[in-house]
Structure 1
Amino acid sequence: MQQGMEGLASIASDDERRLYRKVVWRIIPFIFVCYVLNYIDRVNVSFAKLQFKDDLSLTDASYGLGVGLFYVGYILFEVPSNLVLQKIGARKTIMRIMCLWGLTSMATAFVSSPLQFYLARIVLGAAEAGFFPGIILYLTLWFPDRMRGRIMSYFVLAIAASGTIGGPISGVIMQNLGGLLGLKNWQWLFLIEGMLPVVMGIAAFFVLNDRPRDAVWLSDREKDLLIANLKVKGGSDSRSGTRAFLLALRKPMLWVATSGYFSVTWAGMVLNFWSPTIIQRAGVTNLLHVGLLSAVPYMIGAAGMLVFGYHSDRRLERHWHFFAAVAVAGCAAIAIAFSLWNSALSVACLAVLAIGYLSATALFWTIPTGFLSERESAGSIAFISSAGQIGSLIAPVLFGYVSVLTGDLRMGACLVALVLFGGGSAVVSLKGYAKSD
């Protein structure tokens, strides 16, 4: 036993950095690509909207409703999906989710009325449910708490990549493929961007390992070190996943954390679903140019998020970093509404919003995973994600309604900022409570 511990200490002191680099390169690139595809398929509707709005007789308010209805299916199936993942593993769960959402996205190309659009969005949400919280849970099974700021940033970087890659690609498709084989440009957008998730979903079954002990590409000593590092936080939990989750619902910290994530989704709604519209209203009419310019905020936001994540890990502080991120996003949301007279200024404000939104998303998930046990995490992470996504359901509807009512985006932007500051304050309040819990 003593010899084994000495062996682990030797690995920890000499090769731990090399080991985690090996794990990162094995896991992160694959799930990164999966999440890029996930986000492209979720938000490509913002580009399709530039053309199918008239084809389907949609107003800004009805478009906002369609965007929000995605989260009905998403919310309903989030927790069950993660509890199933805890039982059958990530490989099978991710394969099922990706194949279903890819097929649903392709089917959206053939909607012909607002009602069909609404139904397609609900089904897409149900298909995607469990992917994001499932990956968050999966990462906690491989990386210790002290590394999660950077690791979550690498994962959330896929949001920026999807905006950087998805914008120009969507712009090219929308600009050039209209009329091919009798299909409109927005139909080609859904068809092309729905194919790859099916392929990657099948690949997930063969590429991913559910836990370190299942990885044939790790030595026994490396597996032991990974498992030992994950157990530093606490002892074993013999409760079932469902029972542990139900008991975790009694923790006030869980509900406060949920309110924090609720606020983050409001910033995401502006960036992911309204950026093309904002850029277009600022005077950019060429669809390819709209796509290219929409990539700029994500690139700048990615750089800012990596700085936030690195600084948070270095200081081992999460709550105030999260508050700073949502404060940046809230101020940027207000600035966007007053910058529509100039396209360059609008893109700059969207870039600041992206820094705040992406940083807050990455940093947030280091907070609940710090006070939840492994058994509690499956259902609780999904609960936070699904309950928080109520913001994604409500925000686009209210934002679109207020925009129609007032004729501009200013009041909607102020509402977004108010929600963000409230959520940031709630998460900061957890700092002292967590220490005394």
Structure 2
Amino acid sequence: MNATILNPSIDRDKLESLAYSKVTWRLLPFLFLCYVAAYLDRVNVGFAKLQMLNDLKFSDTVYGLGAGIFFIGYFFFEIPSNVLMHRFGARLWISRIMITWAVISSATLYVSTPTSFYILRFLLGIAEAGFFPGIVLYLTYWYPAERRSRVNALFMMGIPVAGVIGGPLSGWIMQAFNGVHGLANWQWLFLLEAIPSIVLGVITLIYLPNGIRAAKWLTEPEKKLLEEKIAQDGAGKLHATVGSVLGNGRVWFMAAIYFCCMMGLYGVGFYLPTLIKAAGVKDVLDVGMLTAIPYGCAIVAMLLIARSADRLRERRWHFAAAGLMASVGLLLATVFGSNVELAMIALSLGTAGVLATMPVFWAWPSAMLGGSAAAAGIGLINSVGNLAGFVSPTIVGWMKDVTNSTNAGIYVIAAALFAGACLAFLQPREVQTR
């Protein structure tokens, strides 16, 4: 007798495996590309800094404030953006976000004063608000909690891949286009790296389904099975009003942990080229090529740690180990800051640790929150956490002007990462094991 008749669950397991394979191959590569474009537009100012500050006579304090003020606009519009996406659908809202941020990012080539720099960075934050937490929320429409660390890792690999691709690309643009048609190399950088976001934003309107029911490439049995998995996953989660989520202490506690992660992420994102240059690498193309190494290490660390966290159903130790690795790596980068080889090893360790915290972290709030509570809670956590994107470069820039070294600022970032690793152990066990 056929084994599938004796055990109908075999057919269900095969159907589930096929359905999730379809979802993953259909959605993740595209969302991944969108995130690569998003992160390039967000942090290419770190490469532009190598020449922009000299051309415009900006201090490191001006740069740090301008890099960070992005996150003030981001903070105020994050939760409304995520709630609107939940209401109007991912396809339209994500497309709107991508096109508007690309237009504003390209306009940065017209910056000539600190004020114009601040204004455009602030507007860029408003435009991009909701993209990252919107995608995190969108993935909860498709995947249950036990699959989420790995899925988050595949999506969030956009950050290190943006570093692997964007570093050499940015270095090449700044070397090859300097003075072309009367524009400086950093002006070409903002213009050319905005193009992929516009193209992907238009494609999003055609390609991205709003949810399981709208996916024409799934069969009806596959849709029903996936909807059942999401319904089961939603049992026991917090479904509440936006107002009650804003007053939930556990959500704010997660936001504090995420703030510590983001101190590291934007410390690396905005200052990695500067740290490599300070180690003794002078040519801008060489700096771009070398930035690919730490981000390449981060890709491996993200996948391995996220896979282990899902397999063992354990989050706290995995998160803490990654956070500690990041803290130690950045501290060692200051110790060996004048030795290119040792500095690159330390920066690779720090970058890998910083990025490996992210997919493990985002399995926590999506395991606890559902429905509109998830939209508001994920938006709140991301917006508060991303305020570190203002604090981190502002502190480093100010301390660089005061002490003529980035070391003191890096110490603050390393301390924040260590604090986040410690706070992880205060997470409730029922959340961290889901």
Where do residues 131-210 of structure 1 align in structure 2 (5 Å cutoff)? 131-210=131-210
Out of 214, 239, 246, which is 1:249 matched to? 246
Aligned to 2:276: 279
Alpha-carbon separation, structure 2, partners of 1:144 and 1:51: 46
Query: Residue 385 of structure 1: CA displacement?
Result: 0.3
Aligned to 1:3: none
Check 1:394–1:435 CA distance in 2 against 1; reply closer, same or farther (3 A cut). Answer: closer
Is 1:300 the counterpart of 2:297? The answer is: yes
Moved more, 222-231 or 409-418: 409-418
Aligned to 1:47: 47
Is 1:321 the counterpart of 2:318? The answer is: yes
Is 1:28 the counterpart of 2:28? The answer is: yes
Alpha-carbon separation, structure 2, partners of 1:9 and 1:29: 30
Where do residues 41-120 of structure 1 align in structure 2 (5 Å cutoff)? 41-120=41-120
Query: Residue 171 of structure 1: CA displacement?
Result: 0.5
Alpha-carbon separation, structure 2, partners of 1:266 and 1:143: 28
**Residue by residue, what CA displacement relative to the aligned partner does 1:297-334 show, whole Å, maximum 9, x if unpaired?**
00011111110011001101112211111111111111
Is 1:382 the counterpart of 2:388? The answer is: no
Is 1:356 the counterpart of 2:353? The answer is: yes
Aligned residues: percent identity? Answer: 38
Aligned to 1:397: 394
Output the amino acid matched with 1:345.
Answer: L
Alpha-carbon separation, structure 2, partners of 1:91 and 1:297: 33
Unmatched segments (≥5 aa) in structure 1 = 1-5
Alpha-carbon separation, structure 2, partners of 1:156 and 1:165: 15
Check 1:121–1:365 CA distance in 2 against 1; reply closer, same or farther (3 A cut). Answer: same
Alpha-carbon separation, structure 1, partners of 2:289 and 2:430: 45
Number of residues of Structure 1 aligned to a counterpart in Structure 2: 429
Q: Decide whether the 8 Å contact of 1:11 with 1:225 is kept in 2.
A: no
Alpha-carbon separation, structure 1, partners of 2:89 and 2:375: 11
Aligned to 2:263: 266
Q: Decide whether the 8 Å contact of 1:257 with 1:426 is kept in 2.
A: no
Check 1:221–1:252 CA distance in 2 against 1; reply closer, same or farther (3 A cut). Answer: same
Aligned to 2:370: 373
Moved more, 304-313 or 393-402: 393-402
Q: Decide whether the 8 Å contact of 2:209 with 2:215 is kept in 1.
A: yes
Alpha-carbon separation, structure 1, partners of 2:85 and 2:138: 9
Query: Residue 61 of structure 1: CA displacement?
Result: 1.4
Q: Decide whether the 8 Å contact of 1:8 with 1:225 is kept in 2.
A: no
| TM-score normalized by the length of structure 2 | 0.95
Alpha-carbon separation, structure 2, partners of 1:234 and 1:112: 51
Alpha-carbon separation, structure 1, partners of 2:351 and 2:429: 29
Output the amino acid matched with 2:340.
Answer: S
Output the amino acid matched with 2:210.
Answer: D
Q: Decide whether the 8 Å contact of 1:328 with 1:356 is kept in 2.
A: yes
Output the amino acid matched with 2:150.
Answer: R
Q: Decide whether the 8 Å contact of 1:43 with 1:272 is kept in 2.
A: yes
Q: Decide whether the 8 Å contact of 2:171 with 2:285 is kept in 1.
A: yes
Aligned to 2:212: 212
Alpha-carbon separation, structure 2, partners of 1:11 and 1:370: 27
Output the amino acid matched with 1:113.
Answer: T
Alpha-carbon separation, structure 2, partners of 1:238 and 1:323: 25
Q: Decide whether the 8 Å contact of 2:94 with 2:131 is kept in 1.
A: yes
Alpha-carbon separation, structure 1, partners of 2:236 and 2:355: 33
Query: Residue 392 of structure 1: CA displacement?
Result: 1.2
Q: Decide whether the 8 Å contact of 2:314 with 2:432 is kept in 1.
A: no
Is 1:419 the counterpart of 2:416? The answer is: yes
Check 1:331–1:236 CA distance in 2 against 1; reply closer, same or farther (3 A cut). Answer: closer
Query: Residue 60 of structure 1: CA displacement?
Result: 1.3
**Residue by residue, what CA displacement relative to the aligned partner does 1:195-227 show, whole Å, maximum 9, x if unpaired?**
121111011011111110111100000001111
Output the amino acid matched with 1:156.
Answer: M
Q: Decide whether the 8 Å contact of 1:245 with 1:377 is kept in 2.
A: no
Q: Decide whether the 8 Å contact of 2:316 with 2:432 is kept in 1.
A: no
Check 1:287–1:17 CA distance in 2 against 1; reply closer, same or farther (3 A cut). Answer: same
Check 1:46–1:337 CA distance in 2 against 1; reply closer, same or farther (3 A cut). Answer: same
RMSD: 2.0
